[in-house]
Copies of this chain bind each other. A is one copy, B any other.
Amino acid sequence: MAYELYYWDGLQGRGEFVRLALEEAGAPYVDVARGEKSEGQGIGAMMAELESEGPYPPYAPPFLKDGELIVPHVANILFYLGPKLNLAPRDERLRIVANGLQLTIADLVTEVHDTHHPIASGLYYEDQKDEAKARSKDFIQHRIPKFMSYFERVLAQNPDGPQHMVGRTLSYVDLSIFQIVEGLRYAFPKATKHFADHYPHVVALHDAVAGRPNIAAYLKSERRLAFNETGIFRHYPELDRAVR
């Protein structure tokens, strides 16, 4: 049976980290909110799950349905799917390591969101633009280097070599690193201009993921939505700035 992924239509957002894993594995899945109402899909089907009076409703998208089980939160979905999609280490202890790395990625994603919404996620960007400039300045100066140099270090210190974030094989963490690089480059082209010089292992991993046949095919397909200014990674030129 196909996995059911529930996430907002029209943006990559947090759902994209899950899509990349499903696409790399060639796993059957339905992107429910983007489907047709006549087929029991669409945004209404997602809202019905969120408003369900049944056990353990999810707090927010994305969530995955696998039969009766609802799995919310990106890191939790990937931890659950990883072994089934052959995108997690075989060693149980390395799976805990992978989960820790994915949670650091999740923290970075939240910080990216808050660059354009530092005061209130329910208000428009235009209503918090000055604060967004201040937060983005700090994000570019301090937070991007802190996160990226950490990922670079994890790759450099991987005892199985710098090709993967965990162990010796591709995992969902690698796919998420690809998406982080893609997203940061879209949102902050000036700030990320020298990424390849500063974070060579990270960029090499990004490039290797981009070249994988299933990922390359997905990125060219209509299933891959373009980055835009409703997602997590948004390009507002006034928030970007060059770094050395």
Contacts and interface: CB of A to CB of B under 8 A. Distances in A.
Interface string A74-88: 011001100000000
Interface of A: 53-60, 63, 69-73, 75-76, 79-80, 93, 96-97, 99-101, 103-104, 107, 110, 114, 118-120, 122-123, 128, 131, 134-135, 138, 142, 147, 150, 153-154, 157-159, 166
A204 to B, nearest CB: 19
B135 A54 contact: no
Contact of A157 (B56, B75, B128): B56
Q: Is the interface of A mostly helix, strand, loop or mixed?
A: helix
A100 B58 contact: yes
Contacts of A166: 56
A100 B114 contact: no
Nearest to A146: B59
8 contacts: A56-B100, A56-B157, A69-B96, A76-B99, A76-B100, A76-B103, A114-B118, A119-B134
Given A53-B157, A57-B153, A114-B118, 16 more contacts: A55-B159, A56-B157, A57-B157, A58-B100, A59-B100, A59-B147, A69-B96, A72-B103, A73-B99, A73-B103, A107-B110, A119-B131, A119-B135, A119-B138, A120-B138, A122-B138
A139 to B, nearest CB: 8
A119 to B, nearest CB: 5
Contacts of A107: 59, 110
Contacts of A57: 153-154, 157
Contacts of A93: 69
A120 B134 CA distance: 8
B103 A54 contact: no
Contact of A103 (B75, B100, B158): B75
